[in-house]
Chain A
Amino acid sequence: MAETGPAHAWGLPRGTVITVGAKGAVGKTPFALQTAERILMSRPAAQVAFFNLEMPEEEIVRRQIMAFCRVTDSEAADLVRGGADRPVEMGLSLAEYDAMMERFHMFRSQRTIRQIESAVASVPGEVDLVIVDHLGKLKAPGTRGPYERTSVAFVDLQAMAADLRVPVMLLAHLNRHDTKAKSDEVFEHSFRDSGVIEDQSDYILGLWRPRYEEEVATRPRMALLRGNLLKNKAGHSAQFDWNFDLPYQRIEEASA
């Protein structure tokens, strides 16, 4: 479809990869899951493929129910025990959640890009976003050492995205200990240990929590999640703020 106006030009181009990097426990996975939710809710036919290479499936499902159905951790368990007909005060009911999950394809056993490509190709119809969680768990046969492994995996992932014309969100786990940084802020050089990502990415989004230590100490309900768009093929870098509702693991764009 031709780009006929500014709105049609928004978003991640098909065939490209956005790398979302953050240190541990900042909110990468909630961000990715809620990106999936937003895409799934945008169109009845939208589909997302999620390659969950790290967490147990139950953990992902629990996090999804918390965020999508607007319930806390313990309530999510109650909701599942109570069955699909149980009404939910806010957000989706469990039945609505289940219906939406039919278009959310979760994969766990794939580790190489070739396996991921086959799995994406096996999804009937078009996939609107592939999410890979996370880079460190990918394998690249024949490589030696983590730098070469992540470099090859990343280049292969870019090729897969281009071949299948799917946009890909790749999550990258960054070391919390960064001697060059005075805070947990994510910079381009934070990806230096992640192979060729720093040089070859079209889009890099670094997530961090400017008040992380204070938030860990005081455990407020709402945390501040900040995104630094460090590489942007389409233009300038930028910074975004999100409100992260911790009990519900829910992220909302800070707005007027």
Chain B
Amino acid sequence: MVERALPNDTSTEQAILAAIILNREAWHEAQAKLEANDFFSESHQLVFKAMQEIGGVRREAIDTVSILAELKRVDSLERAGGPAYISNLIEGFPMRANVPQLARVVREYSLRRRLIRVTNTAFHRAMDTRTDAEEAIEEAIEDLRLLLSRAAGAREPELRGSALLLASLERGDRVPLGWPKLDRRMRGGCPGAR
């Protein structure tokens, strides 16, 4: 269905990774706004995951050496572009960058790609006549709801998405547990319920 390359801006992705290496404060700004799978490039996803491990879990300084070591530790160095690529990540980038702006651009492209995936999935569900049409619509709506909550700034879309759903319901005969896919499966009393 999608023949063109998915929307992406790998140079901005590189810029934000460079900013994190060059400026300790940038990590705190970036990690609050981005997740690894917000990056289009697999190499950049792996580098950001390494940063999460170093800066987020171990609370150590993020620099080229520690990234190389972490990528080597998880056997992802070659997939991330190799030592030369990682070592040159910061080349040409300034010490101080507008990290919120860079993160906004990376997220914007990430959301567009997710929207394409969600609508593509909805398309295939709609084409599959073995599935229940109403369920296909509900699943598409739920996927879009989760995406919307991510666009609104939620780090964890399903929590906000389910919270929106839960909040929209007055107390009824059922209690949504907050896991939308599970809750939907336990439903009853409506046409097409499975």
Please give the distance in Å from A36's CB to the nearest CB on chain B. Answer: 9
Q: Do A256 and B147 touch (CB < 8 A)?
A: yes
- For the complex, is B5 an interface residue (Cβ under 8 Å from A)? no
Please give the distance in Å from A93's CB to the nearest CB on chain B. Answer: 14
Q: Do B28 and A42 touch (CB < 8 A)?
A: no
Please give the distance in Å from B28's CB to the nearest CB on chain A. Answer: 7
Q: Do B194 and A236 touch (CB < 8 A)?
A: yes
Return the chain B residue nearest A46 by Cβ: B166
Main SS at interface, chain B: helix
Q: Do A12 and B174 touch (CB < 8 A)?
A: yes
- For the complex, is A235 an interface residue (Cβ under 8 Å from B)? yes
- For the complex, is A183 an interface residue (Cβ under 8 Å from B)? no
Q: Which bucket holds chain A's interface residue count?
A: 35 or more
Q: Do B175 and A126 touch (CB < 8 A)?
A: no
Q: Which bucket holds chain B's interface residue count?
A: 35 or more
Taken residue by residue from 166 to 192, chain B's Cβ proximity to chain A (1 for < 8 Å, 0 otherwise) reads as 111111111111111111111111100
List 18 A-B pairs, Cβ < 8 Å.
A1-B173, A3-B190, A6-B187, A9-B193, A11-B177, A11-B187, A12-B186, A14-B175, A34-B178, A38-B159, A38-B178, A41-B163, A167-B175, A234-B187, A236-B185, A238-B181, A255-B146, A256-B147
Please give the distance in Å from A4's CB to the nearest CB on chain B. Answer: 9
- For the complex, is A185 an interface residue (Cβ under 8 Å from B)? no
Q: Restricting to A13-31, which residues have a CB under 8 Å from any CB of B?
A: 13-14, 18
Q: Do A10 and B178 touch (CB < 8 A)?
A: no
